[in-house]
């Protein structure tokens, strides 16, 4: 959907509040934003639409969708699982390389950053995902808490949780 907005030249509707629009252009902005919001509504599953129908601007719609669906750690976990479980299932090398390339691009999306600090933060998330993947099934509750949580814990916090959980289990 974001790509469609970029292609139409309306990406700013996903990021900009109507309050940031000059008063003389506000009416036209709101009119177009309502029309674009209808496009967003039509792009989601009917059961998800009920959650988003109350949002009347593109920005509020997208912010809510990101809150619900864009859990960085969950998406990174899923992408890592795809990479580590990738297996060639036929002799069709073109199809396999296409699938491999798409999976790698999905994973690389998490590593694109602007600063060294951000690189370290993303690498910490990646390392957490690798640790979560390696856990014995007895620790699925910790795994699930991290993947669905609102806040992504620090690496130290994850290690502390796992050590505490292992003391309770043992």
User: Hey, what are 81's tokens?
Assistant: 């699982």
Around Cβ 16, how many Cβ atoms within 10 Å?
Answer: 15
Query: What is the torsional sign of CA 36, 41, 42, 43?
Result: positive
Around Cβ 97, how many Cβ atoms within 10 Å?
Answer: 11
Beta-carbon contacts of residue 86 (< 8 Å; ≥ 6 apart):
99, 100, 103
Helix (H, G, I), strand (E, B) or coil at 153: coil
Going residue by residue through the chain, which has 170 residues, state the pLDDT in tens, using 9 for 90 and above.
666 666 677 767 677 777 888 889 888 878 888 787 777 777 767 766 666 667 777 777 777 766 665 557 777 888 888 888 888 888 888 888 898 889 888 888 777 777 888 888 888 888 888 888 888 888 888 888 888 877 777 778 888 888 887 777 55
pTM metric for this prediction: 0.50
DSSP string over 33-62: HHHHHHHHHHTS-HHHHHHHTT--SHHHHH
């Amino acid at each position: 959907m974001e790509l469609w907005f970029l292609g139409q030249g309306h990406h700013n509707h996903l990021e900009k509040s109507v309050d940031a629009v000059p008063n003389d252009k506000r009416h036209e902005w709101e009119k177009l934003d309502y029309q674009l919001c209808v496009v967003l509504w039509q792009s989601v599953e009917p059961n998800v639409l009920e959650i988003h129908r109350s949002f009347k601007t593109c920005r509020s719609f997208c912010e809510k969708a990101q809150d619900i669906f864009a859990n960085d750690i969950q998406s990174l976990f899923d992408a890592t699982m795809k990479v580590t479980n990738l297996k060639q299932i036929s002799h069709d090398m073109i199809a396999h390389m296409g699938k491999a390339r798409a999976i790698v691009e999905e994973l690389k999306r998490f590593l694109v950053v602007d600063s060294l600090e951000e690189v370290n933060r993303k690498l910490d998330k990646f390392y957490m995902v690798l640790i979560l993947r390696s856990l014995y099934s007895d620790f699925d509750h910790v795994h699930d808490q991290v993947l669905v949580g609102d806040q992504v814990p620090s690496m130290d916090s994850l290690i502390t949780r796992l050590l505490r959980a292992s003391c309770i289990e043992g």
